[in-house]
Amino acid sequence: MGLSNCRKENILTDSSAKIEFSKDTIVFDTVFTTIGSTYERFTIHNPQNTTIFISNIRLGKGTASQFRINVDGVPGTTITDTEILPKDSVYVFVEVTIDPTSGLNPFVVEDDIFFTLNGNTSNVHLAAWGQDAYFHYNELVCGEIWNDDKPHVLYGVSAVGFPGIDSGCTLTINQGARIYAHSGAVLYVYKSKLIVNGTQSSKVVFQGDRREASFANEPGQWFGIRFAIAQNSKIEHAIIKNGTVGIYADTAFGGANSGDSIKLRNVESLNHSYASLLAQGAHINAENCMFSRSGNNSVALRLGGNYYFNHCTISNYWNHSARTTPALVLNNYYDGGTRPFDKAIFHNSIIYGNNDNEITLDTVPGPSVNYLFNHCLIKTDQPTNGKYVSIQKNVDPLFSSFSRMTISNTSSAIGAADNNFLLFLDIDENTRSNPADIGSFEYVP
């Protein structure tokens, strides 16, 4: 009895007691080709000078979990009263058994181990690949070619070049490739090239990795494609959807006198929680592109830059929450100064949505703002000047589809384009009429 009382007095029961883990996330990055099992381990450390009892260690999904745990030699889905001596540690072994060829599994199988100490709960996250695919987990991608033989799954940061590690890299993604991104994942391009070679019949698709029907149009499932000083990149015939920012481009490679850092051809970027295209001081050439349905702006061109849009549709009929921001914004200043718009040219484009004003020129005097809207159909409650040439102002484009923003047979966009800037094929590679229709889609009877 005396020994027992002495032991209790030496156990730390204060709610301020902490435990430390050697890893806060356990990722099983073995790619199985048949039913397989593997294990990882980590330690729980007691940094205090007094013994602690972790009252409960459990798998979040319990017996339904595909993971199994063993704590200091004790297996189970729930383990109680684990003692750790002062400044000591215990091992936790985690095992997973998965059939990655099963199409019923999600791409990433996840769970958490929860630890309860003196009323406080902490956790270690578990993740394993659930299907046979190419998995890219916090890795440098340099000189690679991604094809369509298996899906590619992004987890964490997939970096085409990275500050302090590498630059001048190239990632080529060929037609038909399917890119599924896990929550928070980003395809990051630093002083490097991203070449996406989709075709009309075999597009490259970027989207979140949740494939349940309820997630088909759920924004914010992953971050997006992030260019940090893009180097002559190209994205052609691609669909980028359900992220935070579809394409986020920062700063032109080579400075103000360089050519287009990013060429976008026949790209659909839509259903993002912030923006479908966000550019800051970038150089972008976009033709036959659709930027649609975003929580803030469909297209945000900030901190100046050099932009050319022809036969594009920039629309916003966002319905996940209230939206007060315009479909298109041009901005030339930041907290520390200003940057010029060398050009922001819009030919033959639709800029429309369900707000009263869908274009904002958020600019200050000083740096040049060289912008032009030519033969565009726009919605705005602001005055228009000589920078707006042959426009249709506040004329409903009469979209026949709000998913792809195609136009109906009575749309005033039909035959209203400036054929001096004609693109002979539309986003779906339909032949344009003469005169052509405004927007990314030619009307097809």
At 274-291, the pLDDT tens digits run 999 999 999 999 999 999
Q: Which two tokens stand for residue 431?
A: 């032949």
Whole domain around residue 368: which residue ranges? 134-421
Whole-angstrom CA distances from 112 to 47, 67, 77, 128, 159 are 22, 9, 11, 12, 27
Nearest to 226 by CA among 270, 262, 182: 262
Whole-angstrom CA distances from 44 to 12, 86, 89, 229 are 16, 12, 5, 41
Average pLDDT, the chain: 91
Q: Are residues 332 and 412 in the same domain?
A: yes
Q: Are residues 163 and 87 in the same domain?
A: no
CATH number, position 10: 2.60.40
Share of the chain above pLDDT 70, in %: 94
* pLDDT at site 94: 95
Nearest to 306 by CA among 247, 257, 237, 238: 257
Whether the per-residue pLDDT at 215 is higher than 60: the answer is yes
Share of the chain above pLDDT 90, in %: 76
CA distance 375 to 347: 6
Q: Are residues 172 and 42 in the same domain?
A: no
Q: Are residues 241 and 368 in the same domain?
A: yes
CA distance 149 to 48: 52
Q: DSSP letters of 14-82? A: -TT---EES-SEEEE----SSSEEEEEEEEEE--SSSBEEEEEEEETTGGG-SEEEEETTEEESEEEEE
How many Cβ atoms sit within 10 Å of the Cβ of residue 35? 11
At 237-256, the pLDDT tens digits run 999 999 999 999 998 655 55
At 359-369, the pLDDT tens digits run 999 888 877 78
Tokens 């997006």: give the residue.
224
Q: Which of 43-57, 207-221, 248-262, 421-435 has the lowest mean pLDDT?
A: 248-262
Query: Total structural domains in the chain?
Result: 2
Model confidence band, residue 34 (pLDDT cutoffs 50, 70, 90): low
Whole-angstrom CA distances from 159 to 144, 176, 231, 278, 290 are 11, 21, 14, 19, 26
Q: Are residues 85 and 9 in the same domain?
A: yes
CA distance 445 to 443: 7
Amino acid at 47: P
CA distance 371 to 342: 8
Residue 110 counted as domain residue: no
Q: Are residues 184 and 228 in the same domain?
A: yes
* pLDDT at site 6: 41
CATH number, position 361: 2.160.20
The reported pTM is 0.87
Whether the per-residue pLDDT at 40 is higher than 70: the answer is yes
Element (H, E) at 110: strand 108-117
At 19-29, the pLDDT tens digits run 999 999 999 87
Average pLDDT over residues 302-312: 94
Q: Are residues 123 and 197 in the same domain?
A: no
Whether the per-residue pLDDT at 445 is higher than 80: the answer is yes
Model confidence band, residue 31 (pLDDT cutoffs 50, 70, 90): low
Residue 430 counted as domain residue: no
At 312-340, the pLDDT tens digits run 999 999 989 999 999 999 998 887 788 88
* pLDDT at site 130: 84
Whole-angstrom CA distances from 203 to 55, 87, 104 are 53, 56, 24
